[in-house]
Structure 1
Amino acid sequence: MNRSRARGWRPGGFTLSIAAVALGGLVAGLYPMTAQWVSSYNQSLVVDDYHASIHSTDPSAAEQLRQARAYNDALSAGAVRIERNGSRPVSDGATAGSGFDYDSILAASPDGLMGRVRIPSIDVDLPIYHGTSDAVLARGAGHLEGSHFPIGGGGTRAVITAHRGLADARMFTDLDRVQTGDTFTLEVFDEVLTYRVIETTVIEPSEAETVRAVPGEDLVTLITCTPLGINTHRIVVTGERITPTPTRDIEAMAESPDVPGFPWWILWAVAGALGVGAYVVHQGFADARRTQARSARASGSGESRSAHPEN
């Protein structure tokens, strides 16, 4: 760009306002997918480190699995209530006797990391933590205390829950797309368990539901809220254990997550920013020409008045 052309570029206030509004719209439009990608990426880092961390736990992984089996055997009820107008399931389960510290069983890290849940049909790959507090569900999926630990076994039913419809994380947002016959896997302390979905239901806010263990059956139930942004109903997806565990799932254990994938939002951001920049550059020259034209007309009008003064 030569000097004379550079001097001919001067975007006006209206052009800059339009550019600012366009950039603001671009940022607002890209924020959800950007935040969700960053959240998924951070969760993938946690999952990536999970299998390395369980080999340095104290007590050992074998001891914690033994404690988890004892906890499950001692669970007196294991029934989970989904109450009317309740936003989260609650458990009636209680362990008989004493000596169990829920938070220290299957604890791969100080923040309560328990395992990993993968739902291939909806690209979910999340860490599982102890409990279902707000702090836990902001980081990943939560295991409902009072339900069985997700380590398999006849007559057990573990309950895993996660948020849905968050602006900054996908979590279980697409759980409504899971269909009967789909599979999901749990990885817990170097063990992988595969479950085939046998039932999906939506519970109305005016209804109550009790989810119980079934004698002889090995079940896991996934729960989240629906509809998006309203969260008055609950989606309940139940899977039954496949034994033996499919070879493909055993081979995939401890693999790095393929979620969130390539950040396509970066391309949209670059394209949008270049588009706004091109608009400002183009309009800057057009604004400068209009300004010069107005100045020339004003100058010509002044000279005309000077040449023909009033009598």
Structure 2
Amino acid sequence: MVTINRRNIKAVLNIFIFLLGLTLVAYPFVARYIHNQAARTQVEEFRDQSIKISQTELDRRIELAHAYNSTILPSMNGVVDPFTKKQKEGIKEYARMLEINEQIGFIDIPKIDLSLPIHAGATEEVLQKAAAHLQGTSLPVGGKGTNSVITAHRGLPSAKLFSDLNKMEVGDLFFLHNLRDDLAYQVIEIKVIEPNDFESLKIEEAEDRVTLLTCTPYMINSHRLLVIGKRIPYPKESVQETITRRQPSPWKLWLTIALSLFIFLSIIVLFIKRKKANRSFSRVK
């Protein structure tokens, strides 16, 4: 019969506290790995589904998106009254013309090893799991006189999202992909603004821009970090090389799990040895 004493209770409590701490440490690694894998799967599904759409239909949808973009004021103060039937239809659709399974595209940022689906509308539900297109800004289909704002959270324990956006530098590249087109942008400016500084999101008449937006400082979120990119020709070969080098590897996850199991088993072994030693000492006495 096992006798429960204070020493046994204390040992069990210590193990429980240690395992709880270990779980809290390991959780972000495991959760973010799972989220990254799910995001990559969504990206691949978007690409696979878009290939199945006819070229005529793709062109029609992209044309609608351009019509929507033509209704946006450069000052970002809202939307002008539609003048044509096509503009009316574009506004009515908002981003639905670009959607497949609630996605309107995806973003790829090699510098921070990130590939994320993009959803329409920056609702909290979307921001918890993906990047979002900020409604009222240009849809991500390119074109002169556009500035599409893509936003995502930082600091979530369950998803990486834009947590590493602060590592971007002027000259870095990122890529947007919609139903039909692959678009490349080069970072031309990085700035920190007040949350209500909409002037920084304005459209430059002759430029094709995409602005990446997230909160800063990390975990404080009092300001907004902007990474502004300008459209450049799409470098197909270098992009493919980058994607090949960045094939997802689970080694970090497996290393974390292996270390956790090793520490856990070591604690159990030490506990058993200590318990046996205590029993032997008691018998000697």
Q: What TM-score do the two structures reach when normalised by structure 1?
A: 0.79
| 1:261 corresponds to 2:241 | no
Contact 1:39 1:168 in 2 (8 A): yes
CA gap 1:295/1:227 in 2 versus in 1, 3 angstroms: same
Q: Which amino acid aligns with 1:267?
A: L
Q: Is the 8 A contact 1:219 1:238 kept in 2?
A: yes
Conserved 8 A contact 2:95-2:139: no
Residue aligning to 1:229: 219
Partner of 1:294: 282
Alignment partner of 1:291: what SS? helix
* Aligned equivalent of 1:247: 236
Figure out how many residues of one structure are paired with residues of the other and give that number.
Answer: 273
Q: Give deviations 1:81-123, integer Å, cap 9, x for gaps.
A: xxxxxxxxxx6235624223114221122x2x01111111111
**Distance in 1 of aligned mates of 2:198 and 2:230:** 22
1:70 paired with 2:67, answer yes
Q: 1:292 to 1:70 in 2, by over 3 A?
A: same
Q: TM-score, normalization: structure 2?
A: 0.86
Alignment pair present for 1:36 and 2:27: no
Per the TM alignment, residue 286 of structure 1 is displaced from its structure 2 partner at its CA by 2.9
Q: 2:98 aligns with which of 106, 113, 117?
A: 106
- 3-state DSSP of counterpart to 2:107: strand
Cα shift readout 1:108-141 (whole Å, capped 9, x = no counterpart): 22x2x01111111111111111111111112211
- Could you tell me whether the CA contact under 8 Å between 1:124 and 1:259 is conserved in 2? no
Partner of 2:120: 130
Larger radius of gyration: 1
Query: Unpaired runs of 5+ in structure 2?
Result: 1-6
Q: By how many angstroms is 1:51 displaced? A: 1.0
Say if 2:269 is the partner of 1:284.
no
Deviations 1:192-219 (A, max 9, x none): 1111111000114686644211111111
2:162–2:214 Cα contact (<8 Å) kept:
yes
CA separation of 1:142 and 1:189: change in aligned 2, threshold 3 A: same
Structure with a larger share of its residues in helix: 2
- Does structure 2 conserve the Cα–Cα contact (< 8 Å) formed by 1:183 and 1:197? yes
1:173 to 163, 168, 173: 163
**Contact 2:74 2:145 survives alignment (8 Å):** no
Distance of 1:252 and 1:217 partners within structure 2: 28
**Structure 1 pair 55–272 and aligned structure 2 pair: CA distance change class (3 A):** closer
Q: Equivalences for 1:70-219 in 2 at 5 Å?
A: 70-73=67-70, 75-80=71-76, 92-94=78-80, 96-97=82-83, 98-100=88-90, 101-109=93-101, 111=102, 113-204=103-194, 209-219=199-209
* CA–CA distance in structure 1, aligned partners of residues 132 and 144 of structure 2: 22
Q: Which amino acid aligns with 2:215?
A: C
Q: 1 or 2 for the larger relative contact order (CA 8 Å, sep ≥6)?
A: 1
